[in-house]
Structure 1
């Protein structure tokens, strides 16, 4: 009888170990398939993290918002409502501490990075600030971008957004996915 209980517990644990990651993958795929794409203007850099592998750290231009409300707490969860500028890049429409159903805009759950009182500027951190790459290409990507920063005008992260969830699909440089851009042959002059 005891072995039956152990077997049942074993089955529950195995099922949970399969179900939880599968559900996470399906949720991300749903955002990619049915979410709204936004282009976040960015500039990648490449740190190494021995525990997480090689990735491109992303800093975004659309991470600042002017507000007179000074009651922001670092690391506090906020909702960033999005708009697009005349060039099609994401920009912040508004930021709220609670979901605002009356604002008919896509939003992302983010965190407060800091608030500058002298100029009433709130900075947020998005959950998609790292783009993981194949280890052999991550360093090359950093070198290519660093060497060409003055020449590269069109660098952005392609992010899909749905109901507060966001998924970083790719980093695009000059209309080419980063992994392809790194692999291309240098131009001959």
Structure 2
């Protein structure tokens, strides 16, 4: 009788250990298939984390918005209504404390609010792009060099957004995926 309970408990734990990661993967894949793609201009650095591995930390050019109607607190959730500008890059249209009823939007966190200039600074949750360890440093150097280039809009990240959830798909330099760019 006791072995039967242990076996049943083992089966339940095994199913839970498989279903939770499978659900997370399915959710991200759904966003990539059904979400809308936006290009965000980037400014990277390359940190290393012993638990996460090598990745490029991305700072986005779109990181603030002027608003005069709301006071924001640090670490507060905010929803940013976005669209594409004339060059095809993401731009903020409005910021909200509640989920917008229509249009494309993404969840972000408030960094700080300047009540004098009525500007709120924010951080997106898709700011880490993981790479093969041997390519991450070369990618950082290539991205930094591309930022110094006189060509505008040559470094960006493609992010898929669906119902406020976002998945970072890839980082590009001169319209070439960064992993391919560093191999050249």
Q: Report the TM-score when normalising by structure 2.
A: 0.94
* Partners of 2:180 and 2:138 in 1: CA distance: 11
Report the alpha carbon displacement of residue 70 of structure 1 after superposing the two structures with TM: 4.7
Q: Matches of residues 150-161 of structure 1 in structure 2 within 5 Å?
A: 150-151=148-149, 153=152, 154-161=154-161
Map of 2:33 onto structure 1 = 33
Map of 1:4 onto structure 2 = 4
* Partners of 1:75 and 1:7 in 2: CA distance: 45
Map of 1:73 onto structure 2 = 73
Query: Contact between 2:80 and 2:106, CA under 8 Å: does it hold in 1?
Result: yes
Query: Contact between 1:115 and 1:122, CA under 8 Å: does it hold in 2?
Result: yes
Query: Contact between 1:37 and 1:161, CA under 8 Å: does it hold in 2?
Result: yes
Report the alpha carbon displacement of residue 148 of structure 1 after superposing the two structures with TM: 3.7
Unaligned runs of 5+ in 1: 185-189
Number of residue pairs aligned between Structure 1 and Structure 2: 182
Map of 1:60 onto structure 2 = 60
* Partners of 1:148 and 1:91 in 2: CA distance: 22
Query: Contact between 2:81 and 2:100, CA under 8 Å: does it hold in 1?
Result: no
Deviations 1:110-157 (A, max 9, x none): 111111222111111111001011100000111122234221531110
Deviations 1:31-84 (A, max 9, x none): 001100000011222112222111111111112111123521111111111111
Query: Contact between 1:40 and 1:159, CA under 8 Å: does it hold in 2?
Result: yes
Map of 1:173 onto structure 2 = 173
For residue 6 of structure 1, give the secondary structure of its aligned residue in structure 2. helix
CA RMSD of aligned residues (A): 1.2
